[in-house]
Amino acid sequence: MSNNTAVIGHPIEHSISPKIHNFWITEHRIKVGEYKKISLKKEDVKDFFEECKAGNYKGLNVTVPHKELAFELCDQVSTIAEKLQAVNTITFSENKIIGDNTDPIGFKNSISLNKQKSHIENKKTLVIGAGGSARSIIYQLKSMGAHIVNANRTENKSLKIKEDLKINFDFCSLQDIPLVLKNIDFVINTTSLGIDKTDNNLVDFNLLKESSYVYDLIYNPKKTHFLKQAEQKGHQIQNGLKMLIFQAAASFKIWHGVEPTLSDQLIKSLD
């Protein structure tokens, strides 16, 4: 069947994007095949895009580590993708590869409630990590009026984000995080620390401003060591599941023209 969709990455086995998309494909009776996950090595991505262009794919989601390569392979990209120099959503249309990035809107929609937004606008936020996800988060937080401190192991990566996005923010080394915590209203971990259930001790929550909101982009495990520690100290916490779902929703809308919702049923189906 033509009009198919899938996610590509390497590794990809852990991805729950197929569960999310297939739930909505069924819910909205979209006439496409099953959304698949496809493991692709870097050297195979270009040929795969050409195959898709020639035939049976409507679109692809792109995940780690191919978002930057996908950007380079596109014939046309959205303003946001251009800014981030990374693509997570590809559409094949009229023999062209069109790239977009729905990560920032996914993050924005995941923090749409007042209890979260009130910790961001004109407030001080700490973004830990300077990888691909941090780029989208920093871009979005800045456009929501946040003051940003970016903490990362490698300073150069943080400087590169500043340069590419043309955004002004402060840098802080991981060792210096304790020095900024007392003024921080929103903390977000974008590093992969904690994904394999390892401890993440980058923040001493005893030093963090009392009313601060704590977010971890990791959604598996649902409550990382980082979030558990924050919760124990009385902070409101959130994991990355909603962002994943909302970025998927934005991709779904691009391909199928329908804006799907985040229902309790969907959340249950992911358990």
Applying CB under 6 A, the residues found at the interface with ligand ATR are 64, 129-134, 152-154, 157, 190-193
Q: How far is CA 128 from CA 66, 122, 158, 187, 254, in A?
A: 22, 19, 10, 8, 30
What's the min distance (Å) between Cβ of 262 and ligand ATR? 22
User: Between residues 33 and 131, which has the closer beta carbon with respect to ligand ATR?
Assistant: 131
Residue nearest to ligand ATR (CB): 131
Tell me whether residue 191 or residue 212 sits nearer to ligand ATR (CB atom).
191
Enumerate the β-bridge partners of residue 236.
213
3-class SS of residue 76: strand
Q: Residue 65 and residue 183: Cα distance in Å, rounded?
A: 34
CB of 205 to ligand ATR, least distance (A): 17
What is the greatest pairwise CA distance in the chain? 57
Active site residue 46: no
CB of 152 to ligand ATR, least distance (A): 5
Minimum distance of ligand ATR from residue 61's CB (angstroms)? 14
| E-assigned strand segments in 123-269 | 124-128, 147-151, 170-172, 186-189, 213-216, 236-238
Candidate list 67, 108, 123, 124, residue with the active-site label = 67
Question: In this complex, which beta carbon is closest to ligand ATR, that of residue 90 or of residue 151?
Answer: 151
CB nearer to ligand ATR: pick between 84 and 249: 84
131, 153 in Cβ contact below 8 A? no
